């Protein structure tokens, strides 16, 4: 597509030349008849050739051959002007010579300045030849022009060509303005659409990030749910063990004692009642484990440990036991449940070491793998590996006669796990027992 054809200027030029040539033919014929009483066939032939050439170029442009049409138009106009100037004998004074200027303009608009410069050089050469021909007498020039009384024709030709060129320029300029406005409007629409697309993309990325976060939360909830399910199954197994093994054993012991009372009957009854009370309390604590969400608050574990140590002292079961509680033990968790955890651990430690000559229970804390860890230790007889493995399964294989509070250890572990932590034990025969617990996974 030619540069001028980008805005439809080529078709506009073809149409204007067609109109001007069509108007020129009757005007030329009428003026010549009026001035000379006869028709000027060379002028009519020139106007007809221009009209035919413009029509042909217009249809070539409509068919998509714009380069050919533009070149043909310029060539036809230039050739007709040159032929008429020489054939009529008017030379440079021919009205057709004025067509050279629009031809140079069209060439610059259609094909650029380089080709227009070449055409201008060719036009100058043709004008020089006309000048030399007029000087040598081969062309009549101005004298012939005046003799034929065509000054009026020349004037009309110049006026029509100038008006036509001006009209074409104005129309083309307005068309370019409209096209430019349309292009600017489309650019604005594209920019708005791009901004909307970028905004939509940002919203999509935000939604995707929220979705990823939600997926992460759901996955975490799924893992927590699975963990809770495992714990619930362990609790059910524990309840089953208590119902199927421990309680029947306690009831059988009570029946035996009542059937044949002796001096040990009262002590046996008291021990079994204490055992059943302990089991019932621990099971009740396990049953309440999932009632409500944890109320995590900053905790002073040293103060909670002193409160838990005061309960065995109050009932006289640990009158001889010495407690060593580290200061400034800090953590975060549910106050009621953490207090119950410390109570279970301290009560077991007191039970384990109160028969020692100098019973000691130590509550402290430290760091393990970047986590805060707390412990409750005693200087009791300790446990072997088999007993440690059975510690969290207190009724597996029958009731543990030597220790009636192991179910409290199970409850303590559940509390630590619910806080996101863990509870584990280190012990060896003759070296005491230490229970470690954490209250957070991080």
**pLDDT of 4 over the 90 cut:** no
- Predicted local distance difference test score (pLDDT) of residue 405: 45
Is residue 112 within 8 Å of residue 157, measured between CB atoms? no
Residue 400 has a pLDDT of: 43
Give the residue extent of every domain in the chain: 4-149, 294-442
- pLDDT at 157 (0 to 100): 65
- What does 68-113 look like in DSSP terms, one character per residue? HHHHHHHHHHHHHHHHHHHHHS-GGGSGGGGGHHHHHHHHHHHH-H
Strand 360-368 versus strand 322-325 pairing type: parallel
Q: Give residue 299's pLDDT.
A: 92
Show the tokens assigned to 267.
């002590």
At residue 339's C-alpha, the angle toward residues 334 and 341, to 5°, is 95
Pair 413, 392: CB distance under 8 Å: yes
Burial, 153: exposed, middle or buried (Cβ in 10 Å; 0-12, 13-18, 19+)? buried
Q: Render pLDDT for 339-348 as a digit per residue (tens, 0 to 9).
A: 989 998 998 8
Q: Which residues neighbour 211 within 8 Å (Cβ) at sequence distance 6 or greater?
A: none
* Contact indicator for 405, 347 with CB cutoff of 8 Å: yes
- What's the pLDDT band for 354 if we cut at 50, 70, 90? confident
Q: How far apart are CA 398 and CA 249, in angstroms?
A: 8
pLDDT at site 105: 80
- CB of 374 within 8 A of CB of 331? yes
| Contact yes or no for 15/58 (Cβ under 8 A) | yes
pLDDT digits (tens, 9 = 90+) for 63-97: 778 788 778 877 888 888 888 788 877 777 776 77
Q: What is the per-residue pLDDT for 401?
A: 42
Give me Rg for the CA atoms of the chain: 57
Give the pLDDT score at 250.
64
Q: Lowest mean pLDDT: which of 78-82, 193-197, 224-228?
A: 224-228
Top-confidence residue, 322 or 57: 322
pLDDT of the residue at 404: 43
Name the band, by pLDDT with cuts 50, 70 and 90, for residue 254: low
Provide the mean pLDDT of the chain: 77
Q: From CA 367, how far away is CA 373, in angstroms rounded?
A: 5
Mean of pLDDT values over 163-189: 76
| pLDDT over threshold 90, residue 262 | no
| pLDDT tens string 379-434 | 999 998 888 877 776 655 444 444 444 677 888 888 888 888 889 999 999 999 99
Share of the chain above pLDDT 70, in %: 68
Confidence at residue 377, expressed as pLDDT on a 0 to 100 scale: 95
Residue 296 has pLDDT above 80, yes or no: yes
Residue 338 pLDDT > 50, yes or no? yes
Whole-number Cα distances in Å, 404 to 282, 332, 433: 11, 30, 16
Report long-range pairs for 22-30 (Cβ below 8 Å, ≥24 apart). 22/51, 23/160, 24/50, 24/157, 24/160, 25/51, 27/156, 27/160, 28/153
Predicted pLDDT at 235:
64
pLDDT of residue 221: 80
Average pLDDT on 34-40 reads: 65
Q: Residue 116: is its pLDDT beyond 80?
A: yes
For residue 153, which phi and psi values (nearest 5 degrees)? -60, -45
Res 270 pLDDT > 90: no
Cα distance between residue 406 and residue 393, in whole Å: 8
Average pLDDT over residues 356-363: 92
* 160 and 109 Cβ atoms separated by less than 8 Å: no
Q: Are 342 and 308 a contacting pair, CB within 8 Å?
A: yes
Length of the chain: 442
- What is the assigned CATH class of domain 294-442? alpha beta
Residue with structure tokens 């060896």?
428
Residue 427, Cβ density class (10 Å: 0-12 exposed, 13-18 middle, ≥19 buried): buried
């Amino acid at each position: 597509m030619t540069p001028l054809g980008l805005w439809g200027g080529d078709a506009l030029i073809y149409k204007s030349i067609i109109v001007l040539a069509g108007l020129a033919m009757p005007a030329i014929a009428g003026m010549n008849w009026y001035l000379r009483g006869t028709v000027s066939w060379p002028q009519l032939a020139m106007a007809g050739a221009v009209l035919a050439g413009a029509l042909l170029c217009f249809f070539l442009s409509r068919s998509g051959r714009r380069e050919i049409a533009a070149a043909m138009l310029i060539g036809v106009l230039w050739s007709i002007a040159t032929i008429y100037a020489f054939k009529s004998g008017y030379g440079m004074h021919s009205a057709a010579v004025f067509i050279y200027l629009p031809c140079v303009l069209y060439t610059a608009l259609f094909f650029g300045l380089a080709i227009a410069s070449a055409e201008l050089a060719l036009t100058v050469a043709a004008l020089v030849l006309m000048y030399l021909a007029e000087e040598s007498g081969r062309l009549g020039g101005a004298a012939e022009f005046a003799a034929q009384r065509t000054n009026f024709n020349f004037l009309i030709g110049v006026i029509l060509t100038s008006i036509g060129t001006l009209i074409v320029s104005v129309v083309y300029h307005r068309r370019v303005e409209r096209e430019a406005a349309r292009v600017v409007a489309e650019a604005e629409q594209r920019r708005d659409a791009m901004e909307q697309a970028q905004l939509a993309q940002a919203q999509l990325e935000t939604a995707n990030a929220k979705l990823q976060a939600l997926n992460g939360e759901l996955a975490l909830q799924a893992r927590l749910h699975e963990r809770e399910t495992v714990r619930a199954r362990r609790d059910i197994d524990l309840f089953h063990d208590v119902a199927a093994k421990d309680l029947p054993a306690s009831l059988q012991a009570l029946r035996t004692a009542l059937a044949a009372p002796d001096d040990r009957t009262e002590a046996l009854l008291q021990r079994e009642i204490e055992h059943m009370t302990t089991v019932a309390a621990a099971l009740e604590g396990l049953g309440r484990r999932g009632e409500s969400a944890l109320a995590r608050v900053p905790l002073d574990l040293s103060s909670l440990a002193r409160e838990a140590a005061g309960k065995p002292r109050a009932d006289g079961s640990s009158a001889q036991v010495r407690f060593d509680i580290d200061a400034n033990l800090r953590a975060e968790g549910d106050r009621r449940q953490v207090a119950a955890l410390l109570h279970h651990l301290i009560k077991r430690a007191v039970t384990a070491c109160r028969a020692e000559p100098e019973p000691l229970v130590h509550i402290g804390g430290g760091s393990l793998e970047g986590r805060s860890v707390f412990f409750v230790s005693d200087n009791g007889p300790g446990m072997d590996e088999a007993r440690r493995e059975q510690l969290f399964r207190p009724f597996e294989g029958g009731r543990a006669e030597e220790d009636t509070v192991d179910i409290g250890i199970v409850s303590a572990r559940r509390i630590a796990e619910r806080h996101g932590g863990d509870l584990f034990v280190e012990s060896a025969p003759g070296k005491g027992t230490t229970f470690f617990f954490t209250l957070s996974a991080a």
